[in-house]
Structure 1
Amino acid sequence: MLDTHARRYVSPVIRIIAKAFLKYNISANQITILAFLIGVLTGPLIYFDFPILACIFLWISGLLDAVDGAVARMKKNITAWGTLMDITFDRIVELAVIIGLAFKYTNIRIELLMLTSAIIFSMTIFLTVGALTEKKGEKSFYYQAGVAERTEGFILLSIMILFNNLIVWSTIIFTILVTITAFQRMIEAKRIFDTIDKNK
């Protein structure tokens, strides 16, 4: 939700950072890899009890994840491989956080497993719709908005990392929001595919 509605407010900052990378001839794919490397460090940082640093790394990774797309669009060089890396690395970063939390707090592994299951459910719909529809957005695939997009995810992951007394409830709330998003996407997908089938 925030990704969709707040993007116009943060886009100017993202473009400024993108231009800085372009000045040094750093490609979108290189930024994607940098975002990934920074992001996966959140797991070990959580486990070894550096929660503030883990959150900083998580948000830097998220910022760079937005910058790589801006660089690709500025250079008019959006590629299928770049999109694949971007989506795959995003999920691995999220898993790094969840795995770090699972090793750190063994008492909430069931809750974290439910969250992971909800993310898989939501992303399966998201990617399938992107593959089957011809609609394209600003990105190189059709982006389905929802209650829980990446920014909401980062906010809730940050709460889970920073406040261990809230970790159970924040994990449950995150799972519910992702599940709602999955059903939102499924309902939208039905509408999109019904329209496509009628036009055949």
Structure 2
Amino acid sequence: MLDGAARRHLDPILNRLGAALAKRGLSADAVTVAGLCLGFAAAALIALHYYLAGAALILLSRLCDGLDGAVARASRKTDFGGFLDIVLDFVFYGAIPLAFIVADPAANGLTGGLLLFAFYVNGSSFLAFAAIAEKRALSTEIRGAKSIYFTTGLAEATETIAFFLAACLFPHWFPVLAALFAVLCLYTALSRIVLARLTFRDQP
């Protein structure tokens, strides 16, 4: 929901940084992998109860996630790069809730598991919609130029990062925050199913 507003403010900065990195020969795929490594480091710190340090690395990881597209636009976009970006994003989104579960299984296990379930449902609705949209040659740039068809919803990247940061700042509130965000993710998936019913009603 907030991704559009965030992109309008951040894209000019990211594009300048991405162009500078591309000129120095850094590849978009390398930035994508670096973002995942930072995400794994954040997850490890959270699992060890270093929540504020984990929050800092989450921000750096997501900076890389924004920069990889900017580097690709300044150099060369590839289908593999788009594939890698999506897959590693989902890896990161699963690693952080898992880290909170590891940090306190008794307190966070149930709602952490619910959140991972909601991420799974939301992610599958997103990717399935994108696959059918590609089959029908549909396109959108509502979230900028992307490798696959992007649908919007209540729970997007900006909201997810905000949730992760809030959980790091207030780790004892993780069960409540996770349950609320799981509801948002499931609502987003349901709204995408409704959209698919309307969009894909007739055969192309």
Q: TM-score range by the shorter chain?
A: over 0.9
Looking at structure 2, the residues matched to 110 and 54 of structure 1 have their Cα atoms a distance apart, in angstroms, of 22
Tell me if the contact between 1:122 and 1:178 (Cα under 8 Å) persists in the aligned partners.
yes
Looking at structure 2, the residues matched to 6 and 92 of structure 1 have their Cα atoms a distance apart, in angstroms, of 22
Tell me if the contact between 1:35 and 1:65 (Cα under 8 Å) persists in the aligned partners.
yes
How well do the aligned residues superpose, as a CA RMSD in angstroms? 1.3
Tell me if the contact between 2:2 and 2:156 (Cα under 8 Å) persists in the aligned partners.
yes
Looking at structure 2, the residues matched to 11 and 184 of structure 1 have their Cα atoms a distance apart, in angstroms, of 27
TM (norm. structure 1) is 0.93
Tell me if the contact between 1:125 and 1:185 (Cα under 8 Å) persists in the aligned partners.
yes
Q: How many pairs were matched up? A: 196
The answer as to 2:30 corresponding to 1:30 is: yes
Unaligned runs of 5+ in 1: none
The answer as to 2:13 corresponding to 1:13 is: yes
Q: How does 1:151-190 map to 2 (within 5 A)?
A: 151-190=158-197
Amino acid at match of 1:103: V
The answer as to 2:158 corresponding to 1:140 is: no
TM (norm. structure 2) is 0.91
Tell me if the contact between 1:47 and 1:104 (Cα under 8 Å) persists in the aligned partners.
yes
1:81-136: CA deviation from partner (whole Å, max 9, x where unpaired): 11221111111112221111111111221101110011110110100111111223
Shift of 1:159: 1.3
Tell me if the contact between 1:121 and 1:182 (Cα under 8 Å) persists in the aligned partners.
yes
Looking at structure 2, the residues matched to 83 and 70 of structure 1 have their Cα atoms a distance apart, in angstroms, of 12
Looking at structure 1, the residues matched to 45 and 108 of structure 2 have their Cα atoms a distance apart, in angstroms, of 18
Amino acid at match of 1:100: A
Tell me if the contact between 2:119 and 2:185 (Cα under 8 Å) persists in the aligned partners.
yes
Deviates more, 1:110-119 or 1:91-100: 91-100
Shift of 1:146: 0.5
Shift of 1:80: 1.9
Query: Any runs of at least 4 consecutive aligned residues in structure 1 with deviations exceeding 3 A, and if so which?
Result: none
Looking at structure 2, the residues matched to 108 and 94 of structure 1 have their Cα atoms a distance apart, in angstroms, of 16
What's 1:79 paired with?
78
Sequence identity percentage: 27
Looking at structure 2, the residues matched to 37 and 11 of structure 1 have their Cα atoms a distance apart, in angstroms, of 23
Looking at structure 1, the residues matched to 85 and 77 of structure 2 have their Cα atoms a distance apart, in angstroms, of 11
1:50-76: CA deviation from partner (whole Å, max 9, x where unpaired): 21111111111111111111221222x
Amino acid at match of 1:95: G
Looking at structure 1, the residues matched to 89 and 6 of structure 2 have their Cα atoms a distance apart, in angstroms, of 20
What's 1:96 paired with?
95
1:151-180: CA deviation from partner (whole Å, max 9, x where unpaired): 100111111122123212111111011111
Looking at structure 2, the residues matched to 188 and 121 of structure 1 have their Cα atoms a distance apart, in angstroms, of 15
Shift of 1:44: 0.9
3-state SS of paired residue (2:201): helix
Unaligned runs of 5+ in 2: none
Amino acid at match of 2:148: F
